[in-house]
């Protein structure tokens, strides 16, 4: 049955039962509600899921709190004989893997050690590749098929749907151009079939020992497009810029709240002596930053909102000396403007809008000029 707010969801399986394997447990949890996005297994807690950003318990006959042995068994069955993941868990205290439940779902899995025991978080990956229209992304993003080189970034906080947007961008290129696409992922989430393009997907640890090594290898594999899960460190950023400069289109994500913060994060990866050169290179190669949020609306669902910022936009500060070429595209799609529209239409509470705003004071001032509509 469906949950209201944070009320428990009913599920019918005893997780402590020796007869209940991990696959059976996962299947029962997913069947409890189709909107579940994450499964969480923690010692001392009941089965938990996330749905529309809310943490919800699963209850049912025979359902008991998980023990350390339960979570260790679940982790072991998920990891299987993946030696790289076992080594990483032992040496670094966590590992990322993908897991498939044939005919049911795929997952991005993080197993980690806490208080000497295992905990597991599993993100449910839709079996259908997202499209730009299904994510709610602006129609302007279809122009990506016309890009031949440069750097395109998808940014936002954790859990804002960046991976889905990145997959939708890859799918758009795959459907509309005859390109060679190489993805480097940790782990592989969406499985892309060859369409007009040829897509090769490489997974960290199982297909390559490091993202940096995979990117160096990709430059010798004749790709048109290289998609990297996230620009996490200086080496990855340097290689992404190098690949963009040599005629490749680079797609990646950054966990930042705004486009200027993304630029700051990239430049901050370089030393003070390297800053000017890095800024000049980024100014030449940055094509577009997609900023996004997932917003909890009044109907209990979450909706994605986006802001598009061109690489030569004034707010990024990469072209202070060249005002004639500054873009105004960012003014057509802005996060705070969309939040304001949602509040005025009655689909979003004002306090929620302000908590997600880029400029909280400005949005608060605009919303105070009229009476807030009653939430439906």
What confidence tens digit (pLDDT) does each residue in 168-210 have?
999 999 999 999 999 999 888 899 999 999 999 999 888 999 9
| Whether residue 323 has pLDDT greater than 80 | no
* Range scoring the smallest mean pLDDT among 66-75, 277-286, 322-331: 322-331
| Whether residue 10 has pLDDT greater than 90 | no
What is the four-CA torsion angle of 260, 265, 268, 270, rounded to 10 degrees? -120
Bridge partners, residue 198, by sequence: 180
Residue 359: the pLDDT is 87
| Whether residue 5 has pLDDT greater than 50 | no
Fold of the CATH domain 132-333: Rossmann fold (3.40.50)
- Higher per-residue confidence, 239 vs 356: 239
Angle, CA of 305, 307 and 310, to the nearest 5°: 160
Task: Tell which residue, 7, 116, 110, 115, has the closest CA to residue 51.
Answer: 7
| Whether residue 324 has pLDDT greater than 50 | no
Output the average pLDDT for the chain.
88
The reply to whether omega before 305 is within 30° of 0 (cis) is no
pLDDT in tens, 127-175: 889 999 999 999 999 999 899 999 999 999 988 999 999 999 999 999 9
End-to-end CA distance of the chain: 23
| Whether residue 331 has pLDDT greater than 70 | no
Residue 321: the pLDDT is 63
* Range scoring the smallest mean pLDDT among 37-41, 101-105, 233-237: 101-105
CB-side neighbour CA atoms (13 Å) of 347: 13
Average pLDDT over residues 18-28: 77
Domain extents in the chain: 9-125, 132-333
| Whether residue 326 has pLDDT greater than 60 | no
Angle, CA of 21, 25 and 28, to the nearest 5°: 140
Q: Identify the band that residue 6 occupies on the pLDDT scale cut at 50, 70 and 90.
A: low
Residue 322: the pLDDT is 54
pLDDT in tens, 65-85: 899 999 999 999 999 999 989
CATH of domain 9-125: 3.30.450.90
Average pLDDT over residues 31-52: 91
Average pLDDT over residues 270-296: 95
């Amino acid at each position: 049955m469906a949950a209201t707010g944070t009320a428990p969801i009913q599920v019918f399986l005893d997780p402590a039962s020796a007869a209940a394997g991990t696959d059976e447990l996962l299947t029962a949890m997913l069947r409890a509600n189709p909107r579940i996005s994450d499964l969480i297994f923690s010692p001392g807690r009941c089965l938990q899921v996330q749905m529309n950003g809310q943490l919800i318990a699963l209850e049912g006959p025979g359902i008991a709190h998980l023990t350390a042995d339960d979570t260790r068994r679940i982790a072991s069955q998920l990891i299987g004989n993946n030696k790289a993941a076992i080594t990483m868990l032992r040496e670094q205290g966590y590992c990322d893997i993908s897991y498939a439940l044939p005919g049911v779902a795929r997952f991005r899995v993080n197993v980690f050690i806490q208080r000497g025991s295992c905990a597991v978080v599993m993100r449910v990956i839709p079996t259908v590749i997202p499209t730009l229209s299904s994510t709610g992304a602006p129609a302007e993003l279809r122009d990506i098929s016309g890009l031949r080189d440069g750097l395109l970034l998808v940014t936002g906080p954790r859990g804002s749907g960046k991976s889905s947007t990145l997959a939708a961008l890859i799918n758009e290129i795959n459907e509309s151009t005859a390109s060679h696409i190489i993805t480097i992922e940790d782990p592989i989430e969406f499985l892309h079939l060859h369409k007009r393009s040829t897509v090769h997907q490489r997974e960290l640890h199982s297909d390559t020992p490091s993202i940096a090594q995979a990117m160096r290898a990709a430059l010798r594999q004749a790709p048109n497009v290289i998609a990297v899960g996230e620009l996490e460190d200086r080496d990855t950023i340097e290689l992404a810029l190098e690949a963009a400069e040599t005629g490749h289109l680079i797609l990646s994500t950054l966990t930042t709240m705004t486009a200027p913060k993304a630029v700051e994060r990239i430049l901050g990866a370089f030393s003070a002596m390297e800053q000017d050169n890095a800024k000049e290179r980024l100014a030449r190669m940055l094509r577009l930053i997609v900023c996004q949020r997932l917003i909890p609306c009044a109907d209990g669902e979450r909706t994605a909102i986006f802001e598009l910022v061109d690489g030569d936009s004034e707010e990024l500060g990469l072209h202070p000396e060249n005002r004639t070429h500054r873009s105004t595209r960012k003014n057509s799609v802005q996060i705070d403007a969309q939040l304001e529209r949602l509040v005025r239409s009655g689909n979003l509470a004002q306090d929620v809008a302000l908590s997600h705003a880029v400029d909280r004071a400005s949005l608060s001032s605009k919303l105070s000029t009229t009476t807030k509509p009653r939430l439906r």
